[in-house]
Amino acid sequence: MANQEPLIISDKDEMRKWSRTMRSQGKSIGLVPTMGFLHQGHLSLIQESLKHTQLTVVSIYVNPGQFSPNEDLSTYPSDFLGDIRKLMSVPGGVNVVFHPKDLYDYGKGDDYEKMNGREKGKIVSCVEKSGIGHETWVRVENLEKGLCGKSRPIFFRGVATIVTKLFNIVEPDVAVFGKKDYLQWKIIQRMVRDLDFGVKVVGSELMRDEDGLAMSSRNVHLSLDQRAKALSISKSLFKAKFATEQGQVDCKELKDSLIHAIQEAGGKIDYAEIVDQENLEDLTEINRPAVFCVAAWFGNVRLIDNMEINV
């Protein structure tokens, strides 16, 4: 049963005006930031948001600030009309889809060319590449170096910055992030604490397809064969969880076993780490709530997955 079509807003001033009008009427607002090409995982974030607030805003924006020039920004999948259809299927409904064109375009003042000239040779993200004068970045200086941050050094800088921008534009009461991107969720929590945002951050559980693969917009790029092989990730995570429950707590052995299984299936490991659930420090032994985080390539597709292990 489809809900009413959400209001689609692309202008940031209009978006803020909507939020302020609603808040002046005493309504609470939830924000679910996405990069579009929605799947059941995203819809579960919206369902989580609906538990906390009266109104729901979903943002759909592929953030160039978190991609480096050699990453897959240009091939990141999109299907806006399909996304709207999916959003209309959510029981309870979505009120607004915030779908900006370019959140780093501030118009070209006299000084932009010069600013850009000054920074030549310092192109690290797809925003700097486009050269429109954006120069303010939010850094969560310790956490940003972990997990995905090691192989994608500008990734979390871009994430923290775009989330700051979305918080300032949408001014939500609650924002929901998926625990699939475990470090991202922790980084946003830390940022909200450190910068005193008046926003409550909620983490929503990782969703899997029936075969066990963690849901991701990037899965669409997998061939059937690659997909079958990529199941080695979730299978070995479940196996590690089971092994721990049976008393295996040595992190090196748990990681070696997982790495072996994924490589056996043809995957290329980016990282496989078992870390403390709170501060994401490396563990050598599972003696407190942990999370096993994995990133691996199958063909040209980089997949991430994780499993909380509570001893």
120 contacts its own copies (rule: CB under 8 A): no
> Which part of the chain contacts its own copies (CB under 8 A), choosing from 35-43, 158-166, 205-213, 266-274?
158-166
Measured from the CB atom, is 51 or 145 closer to its own copies?
145
Parallel, antiparallel or unpaired: strands 55-60 and 7-9? unpaired
108 contacts its own copies (rule: CB under 8 A): no
- Least gap, CB of 81 to its own copies (angstroms): 27
276 contacts its own copies (rule: CB under 8 A): yes
Residue pair 7/181 in contact (Cβ under 8 Å)? The answer is: no
138 contacts its own copies (rule: CB under 8 A): yes
Compute how many residues bind its own copies; rule: CB under 8 A. Answer: 43
Which one of 74, 120, 198, 246 is in contact with its own copies (CB under 8 A)?
198
Parallel, antiparallel or unpaired: strands 290-298 and 268-276? antiparallel
Phi then psi dihedrals of residue 4, to 5 deg: -65, 150
Which one of 10, 21, 85, 106 is in contact with its own copies (CB under 8 A)?
106
Burial zone of 231 (CB within 10 Å; 0-12 exposed, 13-18 middle, 19+ buried): middle
119 contacts its own copies (rule: CB under 8 A): yes
141 contacts its own copies (rule: CB under 8 A): yes
- Least gap, CB of 299 to its own copies (angstroms): 35
Residue pair 6/95 in contact (Cβ under 8 Å)? The answer is: yes
Which one of 29, 32, 90, 191 is in contact with its own copies (CB under 8 A)?
191
How far, in Å, CA of 240 to CA of 66, rounded?
31
How far, in Å, CA of 94 to CA of 212, rounded?
28
Which one of 101, 110, 121, 247 is in contact with its own copies (CB under 8 A)?
110
Could you count the other beta carbons within 10 Å of the beta carbon of residue 129? 14
Phi then psi dihedrals of residue 42, to 5 deg: -65, -40
Q: Return all residues near 107 (Cβ < 8 A) that are at least 6 apart.
A: none
> Which part of the chain contacts its own copies (CB under 8 A), choosing from 80-88, 156-164, 223-231, 256-264?
156-164
Through-space distance between the first and last CA atoms of the chain, rounded to whole angstroms: 42
How far, in Å, CA of 174 to CA of 89, rounded?
22
How far, in Å, CA of 100 to CA of 15, rounded?
10
Which one of 12, 129, 227, 235 is in contact with its own copies (CB under 8 A)?
12
Which one of 51, 139, 260, 268 is in contact with its own copies (CB under 8 A)?
139
- Least gap, CB of 139 to its own copies (angstroms): 5
196 contacts its own copies (rule: CB under 8 A): yes
- In angstroms, how far is CA 89 from the centroid of its own chain? 22
Residue pair 171/29 in contact (Cβ under 8 Å)? The answer is: yes
51 contacts its own copies (rule: CB under 8 A): no
Active site residue 260: no
Binding residues vs its own copies (CB under 8 A): 12, 16, 23-24, 26, 103, 106, 109-111, 114-115, 118-119, 134-143, 160-161, 164-165, 168-169, 171, 190-191, 193-198, 276, 278-279, 281
- Report the catalytic residues: 42
